[in-house]
Amino acid sequence: MKRTHILVGTAGAATLVLLVVLLVQSFSLRTQIEQLRSDVDRTYQQNQSLEQTVNRLQSELKSQLKQQGSLFAQSEATLRYDGGQLKLEVSVLPKEVREGELITLTAGTASTAMVQQPDGSYRASLTLPLSQEEVTPTVTLRSAAGVRQEVLDSLWTGDVLEVSGTSAYGQTGGGLSVYLGLEPDGTLSVPGDVETLTLRVLDGDGNELGLATMVPSDPPESEPLTEEGLFWYAADVSAYTQGEHSSLSFWAELSLDGGLTLYDLNPIVTWSQHPGSSSGTSGSCSLRPQVQE
pLDDT digits (tens, 9 = 90+) for 264-275: 989 999 998 877
- Reported CATH class of domain 162-287: mainly beta
The CA–CA distances, whole Å, from 257 to 119, 155, 194 equal 36, 23, 6
CA angle 205, 207, 212 (to 5 degrees): 125
The answer to whether the pTM exceeds 0.75 is no
Q: How remote is the C-alpha of 44 from its chain's centroid? A: 29
Q: What are phi and psi of 253, to 5 degrees?
A: -130, 120
* Residue 106: per-residue pLDDT: 96
Q: Report whether pLDDT(87) > 50.
A: yes
* Residue 87 burial (10 A CB sphere; 0-12, 13-18, 19+): middle
How far from 208 is each of 165, 216, 244, CA to CA, in Å? 23, 24, 14
pLDDT of residue 94: 95
- Could you give the count of Cα atoms lying within 13 Å of 288 in the half-sphere of its Cβ? 14
pLDDT digits (tens, 9 = 90+) for 183-211: 987 677 788 888 999 999 998 888 999 99
Does residue 283 carry a pLDDT above 80? yes
Cβ within 8 Å of residue 131, ≥6 positions away? 289, 291, 292
CATH of domain 71-155: 2.60.40.2450
Q: Are 71-155 and 162-287 the same fold in CATH?
A: yes
- Extents of the domains making up the chain: 1-63, 71-155, 162-287
Residue range 209-263, pLDDT digits in tens: 999 999 999 888 766 555 568 899 999 999 888 765 578 999 999 998 777 889 9
pLDDT higher than 60, residue 8:
no
